[in-house]
Amino acid sequence: MATYEFRVNDAAVEFDGDGATPLLWVLREPLNLTGTKFGCGTGQCGACTVHVNGRARRSCITPVASVVDSRITTIEGLAASSDKLHPVQQAWIEHAVPQCGYCQAGQIMATADLLRRNKSPSDADINAELTNICRCGTYPRIRRAVHRAAELLASEESNDA
Amino acid sequence: MRDATVTTPRMNRRQLFVSGSTLAGAWIVGIPVTSLLADDGPGDRQLGYFIEIRPDGDVIIGSNQPEIGQGVRTALPMLVAEELDVEWSTVTVRSMPLGLVKTDDGFTWKYGSQGVGGSTGLTRNFDYMRELGATARGQLIRAAARRWEVDPATCRTEPGVVVCDDIAQRAPYAELIESAATLPMPDESPTLKAQSDYRIVGKAQQPVDLEAIVTGKAKYGIDTREPDMRFAVIARSPVLNGRVAKIDASAARGIDGVLDVFEIEGPAPGAPYQILAHGVAVVATSTWAAIKGREALNIEWEPGPNATDSTEQFWADNEAMLNGTGQVVVDDGDYDAAMASATHTVVRRYRVPFANHAPLEPQNCYAYVDGDRCHIIAPTQTPGGASRSAAWATGLDRERIHVDFTRVGGGFGRRLTNDYVAEAALISKRTGWPIQLQWTREDDMRNDFFRPAGLHEMRAGLDGFNNVVAWTQRLASASKYYRRPNMTDDKLWEAELYSDDFPRRIVENLRLEYFNHPIGVPRGSWRAPAHTANAFVIQSFIDEVADATGQDPLELRVKLFGEERELEYGNHGGPTFNPGRLTRLTKFVAEKIDYARERPAMRGVGLAAHFTFGGYAAHAIEVSVNDAGEFTIERIVAAIDCGFAVHPNAVKAQLEGGTVDGISTALGLEITVRDGQIEQSNFHDYPLARIGVFPAAFEAHILPYGETPTGVGEMGIPSAAPALTNAIFAATGVRIRDLPIKNQLRDALA
């Protein structure tokens, strides 16, 4: 047993326990950040997607020992502030994407990472990059919302300029 | 709402609604409630009302149905808000718990029946919710009229305000609630709005909980966190109907955090299911510790009576059964004579595999058996069933069991069954701890009430004018009515062949024949149950008949479905079936996809349409096929006729999602058994389709019909798969008769 220190949503946290414990279960149980979901435990469905040092990572197959000193962002910390959602979240609302909603935190985290790397993804880019599973079948709306989020991000950047 | 005091419990004539006020000065309308555990039970001891209007003008509407993604938590409150006449944006929706009232001969519903399945969540509550809103609005009008000393008939409402034009007075609802709370409830039923006057219902509204979902704040069953909660997993028998022979738990008990290990007794082979399997429970201080403890268990299993079951043998048996004679369950006209005199006959066999529900939120349940009472928090489609499961597990009276139900991470029929609730209650009863039971994906893949598999033989006889004069469907399958109480063998077919489905009363000489297979795979209701199999088979076969007799698939469908007329329909979704509504939808999707246009080689369009539980849907799908024999879905046009669309945003979402589900399942999903064990374990070998399968050209259309809504949760699935395989045939001439499609096209073209 050891203590593992890292940052989650800009706060310093520590976990005492087995370093092999997946980050997912550390977030969900001791840290009580339940927005990150358990879907498969094998890194396939993406419901557990978080950002580790700014890149999307499937937290169900990420041992907590591997994120020491890292910056973790979860769905709870994605928005810049409580009164201003992230453009991907805004686009998800505009297109009323969720049905059951269970996978959507992971979908949103994966999309936020994609748009950071590719400001205007094509449909082919979306097909290649977004591999998260949605069991309800919200894919047509996710696709539209990704394009919309890219627009919102572009307009944010031009406003900042 | 511990401070709620119902001051004027006056029942109306249907003994449904009462109104009163809370200590905080809010007005509430709903149903009288004495909470089952009102004294000091766990959690927030809850609303007995559907409507609360607060002095500051906030409007809170209770939601009494499980939300599984179908939108009922938005649609039902929309109906209340419409008749209450408030702005939708001012409404907050709050969850209600399960409400049961003990009666002389059992239990009855306190807040109306609570449960979602068979696409009935909205339709069963359509009148109730509107009458509730209208009753409350009537009280506010009477309160205003009394204040102004005018006839209530001279008053009307605008959103949130009562208005009397004669004396030019206006009063916001919040100013009237104190007075409204003192008025007796009316004896007569309220007058409901005309649909043409709707401002909320039938329009695009923002779904409830949308912002909570995208910010990670929405709570599912898995997110339940209660004081002193322990975490549990169960190692279940890997063999169907196996038992624990010997447990060595010494290593498991040595895992840090593991608190207890014990056996869970499952049902006897063939007995009705309360839980699915024998197993060994591991209780720990965290889910991960429980999982690690389970990995460290050394269990010897006794394989039991199904240890040699296999799907390979299942299919061989079914082929053999179809060569014999089964139970004839429908025999209209003179099938044998019509078939004997037919000019053309077409005979084909189709195979539909077992499928897993695979909701993305694996099964889980919070249970706390605390002496003579029990608290359950579960993601379930049937909270009443959860109460029964907990009562079975604990032996407690259902009055002592309080059930809260959360937002559900996918239903698809899996959570009509509450076996995981029973398991959690068993573990809590044994340990005395509040328990969160968690299933892993592997648990969920191998322990399910799977969609039944079946082998279908279709035969059609056509006369010299290419009219279909004889038709039969012969099905050998594993009936869903497996291990159910009070079930006899002669009824097993009723779950797998809906006797009044197309082409009943359309083709005069019709025979349906059934053969049951006794394989030990648990079976249950999988979204649109037998419709997914039968629509695939029938809608594929129509295309095959068209091809064999030189007819166009669209023209043959239009000829068979025919004009609008109401046919008697005695199965779920009746009392009538109007095949002309399928004609309208089929023509619509065909036109949208430009069906008549000549396509280049290796490109084709497929059509299909089906009537499901009262609603109608059709699909047109276009595919292209490359030189390697791989196909791409180029375009999807889906259309639904659900009568009056209450919550159109959700109707379209269900149509889109059903289409995705139907295609995803047809492409690659199959549960197989070898040596009595389910072979699939996770999404690598049960590959739900990802976004890349579905084209950007994906349209969902609503075709309105009349003023009565039907359900929408299941209608989008059945016609999707046959539209896809019909498109593959149109592009290549290769007919896919066995699901899933997998690499069959590539292999056929190689």
Interface test with B, best of A102, A130, A131 (most B CBs within 10 A): A102
Residue appearing with tokens 């039969």: B472
Contact A23, A84 (CB under 8 A): no
Would an 8 Å CB–CB cutoff place A2 in contact with chain B? no
Contact B456, B473 (CB under 8 A): yes
pLDDT of B379-395, one tens digit each? 999 999 999 999 999 99
Q: What local confidence, expressed as pLDDT, does residue B692 receive?
A: 98
Binning pLDDT at 50, 70 and 90, where does residue B346 land? very high
The residue in chain B having the minimum alpha-carbon distance to the alpha carbon of residue A44 is B683
Binning pLDDT at 50, 70 and 90, where does residue B10 land? very low
Choose among A79, A102, A123: nearest Cβ to B409.
A102
DSSP state of B430: H
pLDDT of B489-529, one tens digit each? 999 999 999 999 999 999 999 999 999 999 999 999 999 99
Answer whether residue B710 shows pLDDT above 70: yes
Neighbouring CB atoms inside 10 A of B500's CB total 19
How many angstroms separate the CA of residue B345 from the nearest CA in chain A? Answer: 39
What does DSSP say about strands B468-477 and B230-236: parallel, antiparallel, or unpaired?
Answer: unpaired
pLDDT of A80-133, one tens digit each? 888 899 999 999 999 999 999 999 999 999 999 999 999 999 999 999 999 999
CA distance B479 to B465: 38
Would an 8 Å CB–CB cutoff place A103 in contact with chain B? yes
Residue B712's contacts (CB-CB under 8 Å, 6 or more residues apart) are B70, B119, B122, B615, B640, B642, B645, B650, B651, B654, B655
How many angstroms separate the CA of residue B453 from the nearest CA in chain A? Answer: 21
Are B410 and A102 a contacting pair at CB < 8 A? Answer: yes
Rounded average pLDDT over B13-25:
70
Q: Which of B328, B685, B100 is nearest to A42 (CA)?
A: B685
Choose among B407, B441, B442: nearest Cβ to A39.
B441
Interface test with A, best of B72, B220, B291, B360 (most A CBs within 10 A): B360
Choose among B211, B220, B440: nearest Cβ to A41.
B440
- What are the backbone angles phi and psi of residue A116, rounded to the nearest 5°? -70, -30
Interface test with B, best of A40, A103, A130, A146 (most B CBs within 10 A): A40
The residue in chain A having the minimum alpha-carbon distance to the alpha carbon of residue B205 is A96
Q: What local confidence, expressed as pLDDT, does residue B566 receive?
A: 98
Would an 8 Å CB–CB cutoff place A83 in contact with chain B? no
Binning pLDDT at 50, 70 and 90, where does residue B48 land? low
Which residues in chain B are closer than 8 Å to A41, comparing Cβ atoms? 440-442, 682
Strands (E), B305-343: 327-332
Are B691 and A35 a contacting pair at CB < 8 A? Answer: no
Binning pLDDT at 50, 70 and 90, where does residue B96 land? confident
Choose among A35, A40, A100: nearest Cβ to B69.
A100
Binning pLDDT at 50, 70 and 90, where does residue B319 land? very high
Are A104 and B220 a contacting pair at CB < 8 A? Answer: no
Are A34 and B219 a contacting pair at CB < 8 A? Answer: yes
Answer whether residue B8 shows pLDDT above 50: no
Choose among A37, A101, A108: nearest Cβ to B69.
A101
Cis check: omega of the bond before B272, within 30 degrees of 0 = no
Contact B112, B102 (CB under 8 A): no
- What are the backbone angles phi and psi of residue B209, rounded to the nearest 5°? 75, 0
Amino acid identity of residue B347, one-letter, is: V
Residue B46's contacts (CB-CB under 8 Å, 6 or more residues apart) are B1, B35, B96, B97, B404
Rounded average pLDDT over B71-76:
92
Binning pLDDT at 50, 70 and 90, where does residue B44 land? very low
- Say how far residue B319 (Cα) sits from the centre of its chain: 31
CA distance A104 to B214: 7
Beta bridge partners of residue B476, listed in sequence order: B455, B515
CA distance B36 to B44: 12
How many angstroms separate the CA of residue A124 from the nearest CA in chain B? Answer: 8
pLDDT of B408-446, one tens digit each? 999 999 999 999 999 999 999 999 999 999 999 999 999
How many angstroms separate the CA of residue B360 from the nearest CA in chain A? Answer: 6
Are A141 and B656 a contacting pair at CB < 8 A? Answer: yes
Residue B436's contacts (CB-CB under 8 Å, 6 or more residues apart) are B224, B226, B229, B230, B231, B232, B287, B364, B365, B366, B424
- What are the backbone angles phi and psi of residue B133, rounded to the nearest 5°? -65, -40
CA distances from A92 to A131, B392, B650 (A): 17, 42, 15
Rounded average pLDDT over B434-460:
98
Least confident of A1-10, B104-113, B283-292, B437-446: B104-113
Q: What local confidence, expressed as pLDDT, does residue B105 receive?
A: 75
Residue B179's Cβ-count burial label (10 Å; 0-12, 13-18, 19+) is middle
Rounded average pLDDT over B72-97:
94
What does DSSP say about strands B576-577 and B567-568: parallel, antiparallel, or unpaired?
Answer: antiparallel
Choose among A47, A101, A139: nearest Cβ to B691.
A139
CA distance B390 to B114: 17
Answer whether residue A48 shows pLDDT above 90: yes
Helix (H, G, I), strand (E, B) or coil at B352: strand
Binning pLDDT at 50, 70 and 90, where does residue B143 land? very high
Are B409 and A37 a contacting pair at CB < 8 A? Answer: yes
Are A42 and B288 a contacting pair at CB < 8 A? Answer: no
Between positions 50 and 79 of A, the ones with CB within 8 A of B are: 74-76, 78-79
Q: Which of B314, B294, B593 is nearest to B452 (CA)?
A: B314
Are B658 and A102 a contacting pair at CB < 8 A? Answer: no
Helix (H, G, I), strand (E, B) or coil at B528: coil
Contact B540, B719 (CB under 8 A): no
How many angstroms separate the CA of residue A144 from the nearest CA in chain B? Answer: 8
- Report the percent of chain B where pLDDT is more than 70: 95
Beta bridge partners of residue B109, listed in sequence order: B100
Q: What local confidence, expressed as pLDDT, does residue B120 receive?
A: 82
pTM for the model: 0.95
Residue appearing with tokens 């002592």: B400
CA distance B663 to B689: 8
Q: Which two tokens stand for residue B284?
A: 């720990």
The residue in chain B having the minimum alpha-carbon distance to the alpha carbon of residue A92 is B214
DSSP state of B605: E
CA distance B511 to B78: 45
Answer whether residue B270 shows pLDDT above 90: yes
Which residues in chain A are closer than 8 Å to B231, comparing Cβ atoms? 29
Neighbouring CB atoms inside 10 A of B491's CB total 13
Are A76 and B696 a contacting pair at CB < 8 A? Answer: no
Residue B594's contacts (CB-CB under 8 Å, 6 or more residues apart) are none
Are A135 and B412 a contacting pair at CB < 8 A? Answer: yes
Contact B368, A143 (CB under 8 A): no
Higher local confidence (pLDDT), B95 or B653: B653
Mean pLDDT value across chain B: 93
DSSP state of B492: G
Strands (E), B626-672: 631-641
Long-range CB contact pairs, A155-160, < 8 A, 24+: A156/A87
Rounded average pLDDT over A23-48:
98
The residue in chain B having the minimum alpha-carbon distance to the alpha carbon of residue A29 is B286
Contact B170, B159 (CB under 8 A): no
Q: Which two tokens stand for residue B97?
A: 């718990």
- What are the backbone angles phi and psi of residue B31, rounded to the nearest 5°? -130, 140
Q: Which of B704, B712, B719, B717 is nearest to B557 (CA)?
A: B719
Are B692 and A93 a contacting pair at CB < 8 A? Answer: no
Answer whether residue B49 shows pLDDT above 80: no
Q: What local confidence, expressed as pLDDT, does residue B2 receive?
A: 30
CA distance B586 to B568: 21
Q: What local confidence, expressed as pLDDT, does residue B38 receive?
A: 40
Are A76 and B656 a contacting pair at CB < 8 A? Answer: no
Q: What local confidence, expressed as pLDDT, does residue A161 receive?
A: 64
- What are the backbone angles phi and psi of residue B98, rounded to the nearest 5°? -65, 135
CA distance B519 to B478: 7
Which residues in chain B are closer than 8 Å to A17, comparing Cβ atoms? 256
CB contacts < 8 A, A to B, total 187
The residue in chain B having the minimum alpha-carbon distance to the alpha carbon of residue A88 is B214
Are A102 and B361 a contacting pair at CB < 8 A? Answer: yes
Binning pLDDT at 50, 70 and 90, where does residue B186 land? confident
Answer whether residue B37 shows pLDDT above 70: no
Are B691 and A34 a contacting pair at CB < 8 A? Answer: no
Count of CA atoms in the C-beta half-sphere (13 A) of B644: 17
DSSP state of B706: S
Q: How many residues does chain B have?
A: 750
Interface test with B, best of A8, A135, A148 (most B CBs within 10 A): A135
Residue B267's Cβ-count burial label (10 Å; 0-12, 13-18, 19+) is middle
DSSP state of B89: G
Q: What local confidence, expressed as pLDDT, does residue A32 receive?
A: 97
Which residues in chain A are closer than 8 Å to B68, comparing Cβ atoms? 100
Binning pLDDT at 50, 70 and 90, where does residue B215 land? very high
Contact B200, B88 (CB under 8 A): yes
Amino acid identity of residue B187, one-letter, is: D
Q: Which of A67, A61, A21, A22 is nearest to A42 (CA)?
A: A61
Q: Which two tokens stand for residue B47?
A: 């609303």
Q: What local confidence, expressed as pLDDT, does residue B122 receive?
A: 84
CA distances from A27 to A64, A101, B147, B161, B284 (A): 10, 19, 56, 47, 17
Please give the ipTM for the structure prediction.
0.98
How many angstroms separate the CA of residue A109 from the nearest CA in chain B? Answer: 10
What does DSSP say about strands B258-264 and B298-302: parallel, antiparallel, or unpaired?
Answer: unpaired
Binning pLDDT at 50, 70 and 90, where does residue B42 land? very low
- Say how far residue B315 (Cα) sits from the centre of its chain: 28
Between positions 30 and 49 of A, the ones with CB within 8 A of B are: 30, 32-42, 44-45, 47
CA distance B134 to B123: 18
